[in-house]
Amino acid sequence: MSQKHIILRTAPHVKKPQDVPLIMRNVVYALLPIVAFAVYQFGISVLALVIVTTLACLGTERFFNWMGNKPSSLSDWSSTITGILLALTLPPGFPLWMAAVAGIAGIAIGKAVFGGIGYNVFNPALVGRAFVQAAFPVAITTWTPAFFTGRFSEFVPSSLTLPFMMPPETAEWVEQVAVDGFTGATPLALQKFQHITTDPFALYTGTVAGSAGETSALLILVCGMYLVVRKMMNWQIPAWLFVGVIVTSGVLYLINPDKNPDPLFMLFSGGLMLGAMFMASDMVGSPLTPRGVMVYGLLIGSLTVIIRVYGSLSEGIMYAILLGNAATPLIDAWTQPRLFGAKPKGKSA
């Protein structure tokens, strides 16, 4: 009897069949319906946006692999997620060259410099968005209407801006294609600066102005649920985040119902749903323990509301998540699990 080969491994010898690429791939699956809806809503401009950011992210990731003499890490799908998420947070008519800058910045400063997947402190997609928010403040707040005619055959004029050029003025074009009453302002901006509240139903279904993929809160919720059901996402993060939003905005609403929006509006407007379901719940930047997750979710939720109500920006979820990411190591240090059999505090044996 001869033995061909022996595998010597330490226990355990069985393994749950779920690894990093599988989880990441399923996140991509969960994002695809949102992308499809965004393309349906805004046309080929958004399709181009998604492709450009994803390619920028993948290219940058590969470049840093090559720089660091490491095997390609594209197959773990995490850069693909970053690319898609990034596109979904940008305005539909965002110049494509700026989108590429956002993708490169997101992976380069948000992920690669820390050592790649698992080591990043912040969500790379949000780092990319924060970068272009600072670099191109006008372009990132220029909204174009959804469902304009001819959206599947023509680009939004600003999309095809030549690299390093400023985008053309779109106001005139918007007037031509827009359905009546489109003002080019998001529901959050309308509420904040003009005190006009948008119809909640429009918010749920996404027939409002906004970033490419964050307008239909309901669709995002359903796609997120897919990951929850497959146990690939920690549902406690969005849940606590929603609690944070509801409690904080509820208190503010009760104090001044004329000026401050109600919790439901807060929950379903802007990028909150996308941020809560797909960015705050990013495993790498969130705490480890259930108690840590609670603190993290509540922190992001309440910060979002505070930025929205008191900040100079109309949207707050991005900076709230980045701040939450930054606080994560601290939260982790505070919320270590209680050892089984450890004596309860205050009692001596």
Task: Give the interface with other proteins as residue ranges (CB under 8 A).
Answer: 1-23, 75-76, 115-119, 234, 283-291, 293-294, 332, 336-343, 349
Q: How far is CA 296 from CA 236, 248, 263, 316, 330, in A?
A: 10, 15, 19, 16, 10
- 94 within 8 A of 74, measured Cβ to Cβ: no
Whole-angstrom distance, CA of residue 260 vs CA of residue 63: 47
CB nearer other proteins, residue 302 or residue 325: 325
CB nearer other proteins, residue 195 or residue 338: 338
| In the complex, minimum distance from the CB of residue 336 to other proteins, in angstroms, rounded to a whole number | 6
CB nearer other proteins, residue 111 or residue 192: 111
CB nearer other proteins, residue 115 or residue 163: 115
Which of 85-117 are b and which e, b meaning 16 or more Cβ less than 10 Å from the residue's Cβ? bbbbbbbbbbbbbbbbbbbbbbbbbbbbeeebb
Whole-angstrom distance, CA of residue 284 vs CA of residue 252: 32
| In the complex, minimum distance from the CB of residue 119 to other proteins, in angstroms, rounded to a whole number | 6
**Residues with Cβ within 8 Å of residue 333, at least 6 apart in sequence:** none
| In the complex, minimum distance from the CB of residue 79 to other proteins, in angstroms, rounded to a whole number | 14
- Residue 165 is given by DSSP the state S
CB nearer other proteins, residue 12 or residue 346: 12
CB nearer other proteins, residue 22 or residue 135: 22
The angle at the Cα of 159, spanning 163 to 196, to the nearest 5 degrees, equals: 130
| In the complex, minimum distance from the CB of residue 287 to other proteins, in angstroms, rounded to a whole number | 8
